[in-house]
Structure 1
Amino acid sequence: MSRHSRIFRSFLISYIVILIIPSLAGYMSYRTSIAVTQSISIENSLTQLQKSQQMLERRMAEVEGFTRQLALNQDLYVLMNEKQGDGDGNVYGIWKIMREVMVFSQTNDFLKNYYIYLRNYNVVLTPGSAYFRPEHYYENAHYADMNFAQWQTKLLNQAHSREVLPLMPFSLNGAQTSVISYMQSLPLDSFGKQSPATVVVLIDQKTIASLLSGVKDRYGGWTYVSDEHGNAVSMSGIGEDDIKAINADSAFDATKQSQFYQDDLVITTRSASTGWVYRAGIPRKALMENANTIKYISWSVTGAALLIGLIVGWFLSHRNSAPINRLLGVVREQFGKDEPIGRNAYDFLQGNISTIISSNRVLEQELNRQLPLIRDAFLRRLIAGEFQTREEIQAAAAQADTGLALRKGYVGILHVHGYAGLDTVEILNELSAARLLLKQSLRDVDSRILMTDLGSDRVVAIFACAEEAADEDPSRAAIQAVLDPFAAFMFGEYKITVTGSFGDPFASDMEVSRSYEQAKETMGYADYMQRKGFLWYADIRQESTTYYYPLDMELRLISTIRAGEEDEAKRIVQSVMQQNTEDRELSPEMANQLIGELKGTLLKLLDQKAFAESERFEDAKNRIMEIQLTGSIEAIRNELYAIIEAMCGMITSKKNDLHIRTVEQIKQFVAEQFSDADLTLYRIAEQAERPEKYISQLFKEVTGTNLSDHLEKVRMDNAAQLLRDKSLTVDEIAVQVGYNSSHSFRRAFKRVMGVAPSAFRQSFD
């Protein structure tokens, strides 16, 4: 069946797999309804539980406020600090206190049952009664699990500060209930074992449970409140044993706010002020009331979606298989792929193409953002003469995207006048603006001019021909025709006076720094002579008392010869000779010194190791020593050219020998490590201690073959030997020659040898 049919089937199967999802949509919707209902129930229950918590804490705060009011009651303070003698008693004071505090029990159900114990009188005061013997009160109201002595010791004879006794069975006038007890000693700063008075508020757990009834009444279930120590404060709908069983179960996480435990959803919240824990249990069935409606709707939608999805899937399979076939055709044509990339070919191609486009766009934006900085740095290095070879300049120029050939042109320095002193920030800012206007206006006149700042009031401008017009000559007259109207425009538009100086024309990119140095010399001359306008190096008077051979020119000559760049070295010598013969009139003594300097430069080079090991060393040295100012300048120049040619030939020969040795080392390493499946260009470059790109280009130049093709050929040659032996299977041979996949090995073998491995083996039967 055709590839189109296979891809179509792959798409159709994929869509069918996707269409299985709607069949699960009903169940997922059902589960979602449970989750939503559960979430809403948890939220509502938690809100209700928090409201109940706030109410309970507010009521407990009222209880605490009650005890504080008692502590501030002057009558009670006097009463509890009176000294009681035998037979004495302040009956009126006790009666008055009873009447004053009775009102609290009538307005607050949390204060319905309380008593005040006065130690000096040994009397218990309640809202309506006074017990002059505590045992009489104990007969009417006592804890079921605490005898009189325990009650007296634990509650009456100890100091308490906002203590809460957990839920305990309690008998009140014969009626059985459970209460929590809030205890506070008076005065409030009583910290000893005994205090003058003790207030005990008995809060019925039914009263507390009524505050938590909102959660239980809405969903059913149960509520439970415990103090910070885990002791019960209130419970409704659940017993103490059940709570203990829940807390002891490892499946129950007491720190979670909500969780399912058995058939209940347990919601937990903790009070930040008291440390009490509030829990509510909601039956699972209460969460499911609204889920069935959603379930039926979900299954109906699922059926319709499945039917529509089958129709759409069939159509999309036809439509999407066509572009995939075309893309795979391009891949097979460009990369020699005989089979489709795989079932996920569309995602593979689309993802990789998108990645390439995105990466290219990001890279382009970043390069465009950094381009002005790169171009400015390149121009500064160029005019400073920091580049040693033409290749280095050309690579940097391409990176800076100058768009100019830099094979011929002029270097000039433009000076903005009128800002002497530079004493204030305002002047510096104005000067920066003037310099910016100068560059922008000059760029508007001719966008090909390259510019960079030179100090605060000067700009270096390079007038060179464009890359596509390398044969044009930007003559002095043409530059003058541009600059004169430009200077007039700057003065008329911005009142900025611009002067300039230019060096002699450069004939190659290596001479740009020379032209720049001449422009600086001309600018110095113009400043000294108070010259205005645009001045050229050729117009200023040249002194002939010394020769022209600056240090940077000598260093460039040394660098170019060491790099084997014969043409550039000859051009430097030509420039030196021209400067000293055409532009200067040297005396014979100065001419002899110049020739001596040139000879010294060549001899210094010749003493280096790269030349000393050459067989032509002595011949070159003798030729240098024999140069004398006896013939014509032309003869001396030709002799220098011949010596430079010989020295560059030594360098080229040495480079070739070094390249051949490096390639032989690479071949040896490949022959030893070809069986390693992880052998890559990176590892080969690492072993050769050279960059990957350098290794790849060098191998191609020396052998005429790509390094990857050589590695593959070595592996195939060894595989052919193993196939002749017939002791190993094809899969075993694939591993031994460095392939992780036998399929990749078979394809590579067929591509290199022209036949499949099995057919190659059969040819030797």
Structure 2
Amino acid sequence: MKKFSSVFRSFLISYIVILIIPSIAGFMSYRTSISVTQKVSIENGVTQLQKSKEILERRMAEVEGFTRQLAINPDLNVLMNEKSSGDQANVYGIWKMLRSVLTFGQTNDFLQQFYIYLGNYNVILTPGSAYFRPEHFYDNFRYEDATLSEWKQAVLGKTHRSEIMPLRPFVNKGTATSVVTYLQSFPLDSFSGSSPAVAVVIIDEKTIANLMTGITDRYGGWSLISDAEGRTIASQGTDMPDMAKLAEDKHFDKDKTSQFYDDDLVITIRSDTNGWVYQAGIPRQVLLENANQIKFMTWTVTGIALAVGLLVGLVLAYRNSAPINRLVSVVKEQFGKEESETASRNDYDFLHGNIAEMIRNSNRLESELLRQVPLVRDAFLKRLISGELQSREEIFAAAAQANTGIYGHSGYVCIVQIQGYTGMDSVEILNELNAARLILKQTLLDLAGFTLATDWGSDRVVIVFASREAETGTEFGRTEIAALLDQLSRKAFDDYKITFTVALGDQFAAETEVNVSYEQAKQAIEHALHSNRKGIVWYDETRMESATYYYPLDMELRLIGTIRAGEAEEARRIVQSVVSLNTEQRELSVEMWHQLVGELKGTLLKLLDQKMFIESGVFESLKDRIISIQAADRRAIQSEIEEIANAMCDVVVSRKNDSHTRTVEQIKAYVGDHYSDSELTLYRIAEQVERPEKYISQLFKDVTGSNLSDYLETVRMDCAVKLLLENRYTVDEISSRVGYNSSHSFRRAFKRVTGISPSSYRQSAEG
């Protein structure tokens, strides 16, 4: 370890520095994330309280609007201005008035309980009935801290102008609760000690407190609403501090929106409308729960990372320093350096000097290799044309090695046959041919600006015309190639008296098909020489007799696979390709044609001998059609096979559709049985029908036209409507029975689907 110590220390120190820098950056990010998380949590709490305040003020404004509507109610004005004559009362007017105020409570739960006192008749009107003796009303609805006479004097006997009585204990038909009271005398401009009529709205504390559940349900803690004098309007939650002590605490700033007090974050918002104060206390540990999780995970991960990083640094320092030391030893040994000669030199300096020398040698070798590049490229092109390179990966690797390529994925292979030297093989003739090949390649380079050509024998040059759009913005088509070769022919003859015949294969669509185009060009050039044709000969212009038909195994398997998948269009294309290859590009004998038709019929019969086709109602008819195909009528064979393939694809598609319908029905049945389960998810439904989640989601929408989540919600709402009409359960109980975790979520969903709240729906149905 002694001889590794300097290099080892260098590596280890660098690793430690690299480890410390991101650790510092991580710590800064951690502090920032803690601060941001805390800020976001506080902002969320303030926003939630602000929303509760806005909703409450809107509801109270609706209550005030209700009293304004009463003030202009003609029936109430008539009753107020009538004079009572003993025991006689305007029963019809009172009944008419009762009907006109009956529906107010259906749209605002703050108006569920209210009454109107008519002083001239000494009668109290409620949405449900009329009390001709106030004491009878007070027997059922009274303040626990007020007697009947105090109630008459404070509520019925005074003039009230949008007055709000703070929270007081109240008895509602024997049930103890606490209420906030809103009072308004009529007419609105009453200033005397008493008024003809008084409207009193009794708002249960729970109704107001429900508006604050968004905070307490989410964070816990407590919430409080008080009026401008500090009197309680509504409160909710646990562990509420002594508010009087909190108000007297000098460290508590009443004008501050959010601040920590003991272990709670106290959020305070004051209403500009009525001066009410909205406060919420959120436990510190709940508020900073996310921040604490980040803190725990950060310290845990940082500790583990530091420990593992140090261990890895030690291992890497040793592992990386050992090869350098061995390299130094090898270099010393190879260059014959003695230990005494290098003792005073740093190992890195020693390596630098000797590696520089090796680089110089490498550069000289590279220069020599560059001289060999044309030979390497020529060898690559020959291998590509001859088909030695089988796969795209092999072609790309060989092209990279030769620092070349074919400049595109599609094109044509061309063979240029120099004329006039057939049967001559003297040294002078070979030299002339060599010169002619060089002239043709150089002329092509001058005309086209590039060359992808190689010598093939003594009198042939093979040229690859490929798309060069990515390189030059041009693309070779048949017209461009013909024009270029014609120009090459004229220039070669005019300048050098060289004549040649050209043959081109069909277009190749990928690098792996270059050999196929070359083989076609070979056949075309042989055909041209045999028939003594001049100029340019294309492969598709030659028709050659073939002793065998073309229907390889891979094409048969592709046809079988497409029909099994129900892809009728692709199956039709394959059939057309088979017929085209054996009629347009081959001259088959009658026997070969009959064998080809027999092979196609055999393919279809193999497909037909499967369960899905045997069980279908068209098995026998398809079998008879396949057997009855006659090879003599070549024109009708293609259309008949296409029709049979299409019919088989229809069977496959029909079976798929039936399977899809059964799956959807299975999903609907499962949802119908388990919609009341709040844990019912897409994953559980997919598990039940044994299909992937994405598959059943898309399948359900394709078959039914609606999303699965919308269908589940519809089922739940239909059941909720039935339970509401039965009137046996509360809204909270119904929300649980139809699969909702909270009544708030149920109410929102019900209103989104039906347009009204559950309570309003039930009341309208009863009415």
Give the shorter-chain TM-score range. 0.3 to 0.5
TM-score by length of 2: 0.36
Bigger-Rg structure (1/2): 1
